[in-house]
Chain A
Amino acid sequence: KAGVTQTPRYLIKTRGQQVTLSCSPISGHRSVSWYQQTPGQGLQFLFEYFSETQRNKGNFPGRFSGRQFSNSRSEMNVSTLELGDSALYLCASSPGTSGRDEQFFGPGTRLTVL
């Protein structure tokens, strides 16, 4: 089975722009979660989508949004980028029906905001 893929792997944007990141889960997985990883704040949960519905949400401003498509692929969008949004964005996929399901992480997208 192919693993979790994230595109693009690297991205450079300027303040005020918006960005869209993509995550393709493992085939058959219906849950996709997103995390932001920074040196200062560590790993923080953004949101989770399950069967095209947002099931959980972290404490991030409304500039961070996401969606999930019928094939379980997910996108996250950050509007009006700020310098502090520079981070490694990780997504994780799982079947999503039980807490015992293992979450598999993708390689991440490194976003740099200038």
Chain B
Amino acid sequence: AQTVTQSQPEMSVQEAETVTLSCTYDTSENNYYLFWYKQPPSRQMILVIRQEAYKQQNATENRFSVNFQKAAKSFSLKISDSQLGDTAMYFCAFMKHVKGGATNKLIFGTGTLLAVQP
């Protein structure tokens, strides 16, 4: 069975600074997807960034980037130039790859509550 661990329940960062959220996972699968989702206080879950395990290059989306270390089973999220709107709960998630199809079963970590301070 796969597990996802987020060891930082809460973090705080000053506006315009950079913050890194940690995530480790455990799986025996070789092909899979990793995600960071953001859940702001309004509760709508939003995809922040996605990484496919077979891609060695780290994914980036504007101010968001990941550090994917497959051998270490580590998948951290870096937020640069933090903004007040980044305040949210951040969830790391794992999904198994299925050849020729999809399994939309996300396994989530427990989340990190990020507060961006003005």
Q: In the complex, what residues of A have CB within 8 A of residue B107's CB? A: 45
Known: A43-B91, A43-B108, A99-B97. A55 touches B43 (CB 8 A): no
Q: Which of A98, A100, A103 contacts B106 (CB 8 A)?
A: A103
Instruction: Please judge, given known A-B contacts A42-B110, A43-B91, whether A103 and B44 are in contact too, CB under 8 Å.
Output: no
Of all chain B residues, the one with the shortest Cβ separation from A94 is B104
Closest residue on chain A to residue B96 by CB atoms: A99
**Complex Cα–Cα for A52 and B50 (A):** 27
Residues of B within 8 A of A31 (CB): 102, 104
Q: Known contacts A42-B108, A45-B106: does B47 contact A103 (CB below 8 Å)?
A: yes
Interface of B (DSSP majority class):
loop
Interface hits, B103-117 → A, CB 8 Å: 103-111
Q: With A and B bound together, what is the CA distance between A48 and B102 in angstroms?
A: 11
- In-complex Cβ contact of A105 among B44, B95, B103 (8 A): B44
**A42 cross-chain contacts in B, Cβ below 8 A:** 108-111
- CB-based nearest B residue for A96: B102
Q: How many residues of A contact B (CB 8 A)?
A: 29
A90 partner, pick from B45, B96, B109, beta carbons under 8 A: B45
Name A91-114 residues within 8 Å CB distance of B.
Answer: 92, 94, 96-108
Question: A100 CA to B110 CA in the complex, in Å?
Answer: 23
- Smallest beta-carbon distance A87→chain B, Å: 12
Asked if A48 and B104 sit within 8 Å, CB to CB, the answer is yes
**Residues on B with beta carbons closer than 8 Å to the beta carbon of A106:** 44
Q: Are A98 and B102 in contact (CB under 8 A)?
A: yes
Besides A33-B105, A94-B104, A105-B44, 12 more A-B contacts (Cβ < 8 Å) are A31-B102, A43-B106, A48-B105, A55-B103, A56-B103, A58-B105, A92-B104, A99-B33, A99-B95, A99-B97, A99-B103, A105-B45
Closest 5 CB pairs of A and B: A105-B45, A43-B108, A56-B105, A33-B104, A99-B102
